[in-house]
Structure 1
Amino acid sequence: MKFLIVFGSIVVPIAMLMIQHKWIKWRIVFNVASVLSTLILGNISALAIYEILRDNTVFMTSIHAIFLNPMFLITGAYLGVYLVYRLMLMTYEEVYV
């Protein structure tokens, strides 16, 4: 599983870079997906913090329940991959354009 996570974090941004280079409209798709992911991730985080403060259950382990939320994990993973993709895109444009 560790190998899959590391391998995916390298291969997926490279694939995204190649796809958007071939079909420029995919850049818009990747950007829109990142905006939606940011909104979802932020709202999930804010709601989790609100519930903890509202219920007065401010313990170190209470907030960690957020990591069990699949949408939190999916959007966080996409944003991590997207960040690497954008850094690669910026580097590519600085070197070759």
Structure 2
Amino acid sequence: MKIIIIATTLLVPILMLYLQHNSDKTRHFFNAMAVISSIVFGSIAATSIYQIIVDDAVFMTTIHAVFLNPLFLVAGAYMGVFLIYQLMYFTFYDT
């Protein structure tokens, strides 16, 4: 499983780089998805922390429940892949 995660972390940004090179619309789509993912990721994290503070719960044990939220995980994964894609873009195309 670790090899699949590492391979995906490398292959998906390379595929994104190739696709955006062929179409400006694709680049805008990737950027829009990153904005949406950031909003979702931040909102879930903020509301989870707020709920812990309101409930006066034990922080370290309760906050880990956020990792069970599939939307949080998908948004975070996209942001990670997008960051690598952006670094590749700036390395190869931005002069």
Number of equivalences: 95
Q: Which residue of 2 aligns with 1:56?
A: 56
Which amino acid is 1:33 matched to?
Answer: M
Cα distance, 1:58 vs structure 2 = 2.7
- Following the alignment from structure 1 to structure 2, what is the Cα–Cα distance between the partners of residues 75 and 28? 17
Q: Runs ≥4 in structure 1, deviation > 4 angstroms? A: none
TM-score by length of 2: 0.96
Identity of aligned residues (%): 48
Q: Which residue of 1 aligns with 2:87?
A: 87
Deviations 1:6-65 (A, max 9, x none): 110000000000000011210000000000000000000000001100000033111011
Instruction: Report 1:4-83 matches (<5 A).
Output: 4-83=4-83
- Following the alignment from structure 1 to structure 2, what is the Cα–Cα distance between the partners of residues 24 and 49? 38
- Following the alignment from structure 1 to structure 2, what is the Cα–Cα distance between the partners of residues 6 and 15? 15
Which amino acid is 1:26 matched to?
Answer: T
List gaps (5 residues or longer) in structure 1: none
